[in-house]
């Protein structure tokens, strides 16, 4: 069998962010988990020096190796993979031309990190194709840089790290400053329900990057390296901070404190306390960070009003996308149906909802 006919494949899951909204690029702490929806990248070497990436829903992008650069227009979706290729080349890896096909059940643009799953699956695919070998955290960092340089989103490292380090039936705790990960057993009597708003969502070049600049400005005004380095008590005492920056900082500082508290609650199996933190987190997103939306608020409120739901919040960057609800496991299937019906009654949109399982990371 020639090299050009050898077929290889890699898979990476999406993720939910349980607590720690926008804290990763502020050197903070986050709690998330890899979920049982994801993407695969499968393909083989080509002998003609061309990169060809195909998706049934997005189409095909084909460019010569010598013309590797960010794509525009309808081809932008391929930038997440092409950016990873560029990172490999930048590390001195000779990446041959290849054909790759992208498949999966992870919906794009819904706050479940389809972009990071695409990047991570591409990186694992390239490691087998080239071949090459990088440490897992280094792969996460390469994928993060790919997203910034080729897709224009200055995201943190949470999404890639969670997709790589996920563990079945465990939450993933990520310390962005230390770039360290540990997994924490998730209480078996609790379940997570993801609901999609159906609203359009676009992070590149938009409000996500704007929030990043605002939090950086808040840290500078407070005289700290990052918002991780100030407590909510100290922040409340600072009367010299402009009101907008105060609200942005309050969200990040509060989220970090909620994550630390959540670790204690998870170890005790305290779902009621954990759910309360999720509710507080969403309220802070709505009022302080302004990264919620009408549709997200409707979904969260609908979930919070259902018996058996312990807490709900937006998940991911916000500005549309999806919500996550914590509930009693035996009632999860009926809650998912009821949540979809309640949102449809309010908005006229029947949202996809599903009970998600915390799963293993990329492979």
Confidence of residue 78 (pLDDT cuts 50, 70, 90): very high
CATH classification number, 3-182, choose in 3.40.50.10300, 3.40.50.1820, 2.60.40.10, 3.30.230.10: 3.30.230.10
Q: In angstroms, rounded to a whole number, what is the distance separating the alpha carbons of residues 12 and 157?
A: 15
Q: How many CA atoms lie within 13 A of 308 on its CB side?
A: 18
Cα–Cα distances in angstroms (integers) from residue 278 to residues 50, 208, 311, in the given order:
47, 21, 5
Crossing angle for the helix pair 271-284 and 294-304, to the nearest 10 degrees = 160
Measure the CA–CA gap between 174 and 162, rounded to whole angstroms.
8
Confidence of residue 200 (pLDDT cuts 50, 70, 90): low
Q: What is the CA radius of gyration of the chain?
A: 20
Q: Is the pLDDT of residue 1 over 90?
A: no
Q: Residue 238 above 90 pLDDT?
A: yes
Whether 360 sits among the annotated catalytic residues: the reply is no
pLDDT digits (tens, 9 = 90+) for 162-189: 999 999 999 999 999 999 999 999 999 9
Q: Are 10 and 360 in contact (CB under 8 A)?
A: no
Q: Looking at 48, 159, 234, 240, which residue is catalytic?
A: 159
5 pLDDT exceeds 80?
no
pLDDT of 24 > 70? The answer is: yes
Q: Rounded distance, CA 69 to CA 289, Å?
A: 34
CATH number of the structural domain 187-356: 3.30.70.890
- Average pLDDT (155-163) is 92
Interacting residues of 285 by C-beta distance below 8 A, sequence separation 6+? 21, 251, 291, 292, 313, 314, 318
Q: For 295-311, what is each residue's pLDDT tens digit?
A: 999 999 999 999 999 99
Sequence spans of domains, the chain? 3-182, 187-356
CB neighbour list of residue 138: distance below 8 Å, 6 or more residues apart: none
């Amino acid at each position: 069998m020639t090299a050009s006919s050898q077929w290889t494949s890699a898979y990476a899951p999406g993720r939910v962010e349980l607590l720690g909204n926008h804290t990763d690029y502020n050197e903070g702490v986050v709690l998330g988990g890899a979920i049982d929806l994801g993407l695969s990248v499968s393909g083989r070497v080509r002998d003609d020096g061309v990169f060809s990436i195909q998706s049934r829903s997005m189409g095909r992008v084909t460019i010569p190796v010598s013309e590797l650069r960010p794509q525009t227009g309808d081809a932008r979706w391929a930038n997440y993979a092409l950016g990873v290729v560029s990172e490999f080349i930048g590390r001195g890896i000779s990446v041959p031309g290849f054909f790759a096909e992208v498949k999966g059940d992870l919906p794009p643009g819904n706050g479940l990190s389809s972009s990071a799953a695409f990047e991570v699956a591409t990186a694992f695919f390239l490691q087998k194709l080239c071949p090459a070998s990088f440490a897992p955290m280094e792969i996460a960092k390469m994928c993060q840089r790919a997203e910034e340089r080729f897709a224009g989103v200055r995201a943190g490292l949470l999404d890639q790290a969670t997709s790589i380090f996920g563990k079945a039936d465990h939450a993933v705790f990520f310390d962005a400053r230390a770039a360290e990960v540990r997994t924490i057993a998730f209480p078996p009597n609790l379940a997570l329900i993801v609901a999609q708003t159906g609203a359009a969502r676009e992070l590149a070049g938009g409000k996500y990057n704007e929030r990043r600049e605002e939090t950086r400005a808040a840290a500078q005004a407070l005289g700290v390296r990052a918002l991780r380095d100030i407590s909510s008590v100290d922040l409340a005492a600072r009367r010299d901070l402009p009101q907008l920056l105060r609200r942005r900082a309050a969200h990040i500082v509060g989220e970090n404190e909620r994550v630390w508290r959540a670790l204690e609650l998870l170890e005790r199996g305290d779902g009621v306390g954990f759910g309360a933190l999720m509710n507080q987190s969403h309220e802070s997103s709505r009022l302080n960070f302004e990264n919620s939306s009408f549709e997200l608020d409707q979904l969260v409120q609908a979930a919070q009003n259902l018996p058996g739901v312990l807490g709900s919040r937006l998940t991911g960057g916000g500005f549309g996308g999806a919500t996550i609800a914590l509930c009693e496991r035996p009632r999860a299937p009926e809650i998912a149906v009821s949540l979809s019906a309640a949102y449809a009654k309010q908005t006229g949109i029947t949202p996809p909802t599903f009970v998600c399982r915390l799963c293993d990371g990329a492979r």
